[in-house]
């Protein structure tokens, strides 16, 4: 079945055709590790995970690379303002290296909790300074660089197609910038190598023939993607904020250095998670929620994943606790349905072929996950399909959804416990709290604990 993906480069859905039929090369811009990743970042990583799982579902292997930005990212994506890592170090009175290590582990843990498949390769910008300097060397040799005020810049006027990804209204965007770097020949030029001219004695610095310093932000992705995926590869992704500057500059320096066009075949971008209309969740504003906050409020991380699945990745998604509650209810319903499929055998002769086709049709239509969920609910309602078949098909679908449905196991609760549960519920409804507590204690003696959740009491082994 044909897989169609929306390519930001052409602004069209295109049929996906990888360079190498056996293995798809995919690069996703990863976290800047100066603070916890927020739910917006996690929406993007979930979108990339769904993309990868869809490609896997279509029978390809995937080589997936994610970078860790631990140097060079300034508060503005366009080389202006404070160094993000330094900002984190000052805030916590730690070294930049300690900050990077701490938040790298934190983001990896969040991704794991969201059942995001680990990339084939995690790579850190600071581990690839040599590769970045080599790329500057090639650009210099080809005449794409100049030095001013101690920094090495990429000269965008040398590249005919600069800005093709973004189709930017570059002039309007440039005017909106507050600070300006007077060393730049053209407003869109960007730094490849900073020396002390930018900051007094930065903590992270390396020797180079341009002077002791550190790389500009965009360079790491070009150097590391080339190292691990080759001079051309299939897919590059991130959220939409990366289109006008970061990805535009990645393309400029990679195509100039490598002499390949296009450097990447499919560019894919997810829309933002917003707190209110037009108000993106962002680390730098400090106005953000983390996955841990969600967990502390009693939600399973899978609820956030289900919440993300409910909106197409190219549409903004508004965060609210009410929406999280709806996602929780829907997920609970799905999980209960799984239990029912496991516990109650039900006859039925129809196979699930058409549902499998419809499901794949939905995910292959540029990752239409809301439609894929609708197909699942339709299949679950179908009286003519037996429960065993439904369960098997649902687990197949969950290879893409990643909702950990395979983990749901029947508890085999003894009848005695079930009767006590019902009695307790009866007591609770009559507001007979003393009786309800007595029964809870009895259940505890039998080795079971009761948790009252928004969708009713749940019993677990103690
Ligand atoms: P950062 O750690 O800020 O470099 O961002 C990591 C990834 O999250 C990048 O792909 C960003 O484009 C993306 N991102 C940042 N803010 C949001 C948001 N509010 N919603 C969705 N994705 C975001
Ligand atoms: Zn990048």
C-beta 184 within 6 A of ligand 1: no
Protein residues within 5 Å, CB atom, of ion ligand 2 = 29, 221
Radius of gyration of the chain from its Cα atoms, rounded to whole angstroms: 26
Distance 356 CA to ligand 1 centre (A): 33
Of the CATH numbers 2.60.40.790, 1.10.8.50, 1.20.120.640, 3.40.190.10, which one belongs to the domain with range 316-407? Answer: 1.20.120.640
Averaged pLDDT for residues 350-376? 97
Cα 423 versus chain centre, distance:
45
**pLDDT tens figures, 228-247:** 999 999 999 999 999 999 99
Using DSSP bridges, classify how beta strands 273-276 and 317-318 pair: parallel, antiparallel or unpaired.
parallel
Domain boundaries, the chain: 4-274, 316-407, 415-461
Query: Is the CB of 241 within 6 Å of ligand 1?
Result: yes
Q: Which ligand is nearest to the CA of 221?
A: 2
Residue 154 has pLDDT above 90, yes or no: yes
Whole-number pLDDT of residue 347: 84
Atom of ligand 1 nearest to the CA of 317: 20
What letter does residue 185 receive in the DSSP assignment?
S
Question: If you ran DSSP here, which 8-state letter would residue 212 be given?
Answer: S
Residue 413 is classified by DSSP as -
Q: pTM here?
A: 0.88
**22/157 Cα distance (integer angstroms):** 38
Q: State the pLDDT at residue 172.
A: 55
For the segment(s) 4-274, the CATH number from 3.30.360.10, 1.10.3720.10, 3.40.50.620, 3.30.420.130 is 3.40.50.620
Our CA angle for 404, 407, 410, nearest 5°, is 135
**pLDDT at residue 173 in the model:** 54
Give the phi and the psi of residue 110 in degrees, each rounded to 5. -60, -45
- Report the C-alpha gap between 372 and 316 in whole angstroms: 19
3-class DSSP state of 167: coil
Asked whether residue 77 carries a pLDDT value surpassing 70, the answer given is: no
Is the pLDDT assigned to residue 89 strictly greater than 90?
no
Give the percent of the chain with pLDDT over 90: 68
Quick one: average pLDDT of 13-34? 96
Q: Give the model's confidence band at 39: pLDDT under 50 very low, under 70 low, under 90 confident, else very high.
A: very high
Tell me if residue 148 falls in helix, strand or coil: strand
- pLDDT attached to residue 160: 85
Tell me the average pLDDT across 310-335: 97
Question: Does ligand 1 lie within 6 Å of residue 439's CB atom?
Answer: no
Nearest-angstrom CA–CA distance, 397 and 391 = 10
State mean pLDDT over 294-311.
Answer: 97
From the CB of 41, is ligand 1 less than 6 Å away? Answer: yes
Q: What does the block give as tokens for 201?
A: 């004695």
Q: Is the CB of 238 under 6 A from ligand 1?
A: yes
Assess whether the region 4-274 and the region 316-407 belong to the same CATH fold.
Answer: no
Distance of CA 308 to the CA centre of its chain: 10
Q: Which atom of ligand 1 is nearest to the CA of 273?
A: 20
Residue pair 421/443 in contact (Cβ under 8 Å)? The answer is yes
Atom of ligand 1 lying closest to residue 242 CA: 12
CB of 273 shorter than 6 A to ligand 1: yes
First-to-last CA distance in the chain? Answer: 47
User: Which is more confident, 357 or 444?
Assistant: 357
Measured over all CA atoms, what is the biggest interatomic distance in the chain, rounded to whole angstroms? 83
pLDDT of 175 over the 70 cut: no
Q: Which atom of ligand 1 is least distant from the CA of 239?
A: 12
Q: What is residue 171's predicted lDDT score, i.e. its pLDDT? A: 55
CA dihedral 60, 66, 309, 245 (to 10 degrees): -120
Average pLDDT over residues 267-271: 98
Residue 317 has φ and ψ, to the nearest 5°, of: -125, 125
pLDDT tens digit sequence for 100-117? 999 999 999 999 999 999
Say yes or no: CB of residue 272 within 6 Å of ligand 1: yes
Which of the four pLDDT bands, split at 50, 70 and 90, describes residue 286?
low
Max mean pLDDT among 254-258, 284-288, 431-435 falls in 254-258
Q: Cβ-count burial of 365 within 10 angstroms (0-12 exposed, 13-18 middle, 19+ buried)?
A: middle
Where do runs of H (alpha helix) occur along 114-245?
A: 129-141, 170-176, 217-229
The three-class DSSP label of residue 295 is helix
**Closest by Cα among 16, 32, 108, 121 to 68:** 32
Q: Contact at 8 Å (CB) between 35 and 66?
A: no
- Residue 119 carries which DSSP code? P
pLDDT at 178: 45
**Are 252 and 145 spatial neighbours (Cβ–Cβ below 8 Å)?**
no
Backbone angles phi, psi at 312, to 5 degrees: -60, 145
Can you count the helices (H) and strands (E) in the chain?
15, 16
Nearest CA to ligand 1 atom 14: 41
Give Cβ neighbours of residue 147 (< 8 Å, ≥ 6 apart).
153, 210
C-alpha span between 378 and 358 (Å, rounded): 10
CA distances from 224 to 71, 255, 274, 368 (A): 14, 14, 30, 30
Assess whether the C-beta atom of 44 lies below 6 angstroms from ligand 1. yes
Stretch 450-457: mean pLDDT, rounded? 66
């Amino acid at each position: 079945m044909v897989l169609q993906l929306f390519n930001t480069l052409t602004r069209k859905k295109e049929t996906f055709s990888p360079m190498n039929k056996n293995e798809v090369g995919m690069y996703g811009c990863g976290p800047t590790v100066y603070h916890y990743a927020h739910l917006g970042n996690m929406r993007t990583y979930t979108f990339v995970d769904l993309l990868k799982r869809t490609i896997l579902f279509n029978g390809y292997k995937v080589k997936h690379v994610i970078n860790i930005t631990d140097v060079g990212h300034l508060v503005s994506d366009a080389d202006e303002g404070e160094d993000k890592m330094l900002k984190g170090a000052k805030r916590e009175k730690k070294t930049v290296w300690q900050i990077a290590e701490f938040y790298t582990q934190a983001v990896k843990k969040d991704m794991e909790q969201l059942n995001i498949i680990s990339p084939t390769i995690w790579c850190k910008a600071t581990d690839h300074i040599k590769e970045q300097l080599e790329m500057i060397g090639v650009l210099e040799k080809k005449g794409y660089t100049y030095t001013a005020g101690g920094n090495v810049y990429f000269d965008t006027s040398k590249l005919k197609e600069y800005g093709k990804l973004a189709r930017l209204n570059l002039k309007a965007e440039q005017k909106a910038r507050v600070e300006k770097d007077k060393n730049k020949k053209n407003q869109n030029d960007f730094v490849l190598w900073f020396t002390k001219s930018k900051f007094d004695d930065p903590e992270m610095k390396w020797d180079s023939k341009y002077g002791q310093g550190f790389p500009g932000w965009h360079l790491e992705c070009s150097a590391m993607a080339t190292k691990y995926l080759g001079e051309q590869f299939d897919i590059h992704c991130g959220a939409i904020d990366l289109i006008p500057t970061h990805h535009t500059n990645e393309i400029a320096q990679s195509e100039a250095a490598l002499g390949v066009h296009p450097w990447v075949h499919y560019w894919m971008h997810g829309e933002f998670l917003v707190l209110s209309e037009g108000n993106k969740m962002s680390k730098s504003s400090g106005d953000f929620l983390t996955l841990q906050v969600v967990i502390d409020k009693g939600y399973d991380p899978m609820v956030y994943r289900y919440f993300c699945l409910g909106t197409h990745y190219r549409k903004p998604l508004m965060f609210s606790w009410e929406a999280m509650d709806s996602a929780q209810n829907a997920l609970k319903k799905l999980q209960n349905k799984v239990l029912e499929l496991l516990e109650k055998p039900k006859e039925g002769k129809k196979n699930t072929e058409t549902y499998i086709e419809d499901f794949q049709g939905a995910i292959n239509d540029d990752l239409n996950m809301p439609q894929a969920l609708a197909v699942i609910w339709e299949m679950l309602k179908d009286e003519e399909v037996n429960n065993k078949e439904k369960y098997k098909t649902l687990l197949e679908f969950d290879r893409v959804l990643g909702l950990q449905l395979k983990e749901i196991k029947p508890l085999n609760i003894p009848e005695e416990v079930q009767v006590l549960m019902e009695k307790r519920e009866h007591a609770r409804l009559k507001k007979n709290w003393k009786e309800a507590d007595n029964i809870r204690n009895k259940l505890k003696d039998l080795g079971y604990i009761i948790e009252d959740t928004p969708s009713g009491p749940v019993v677990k082994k103690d």
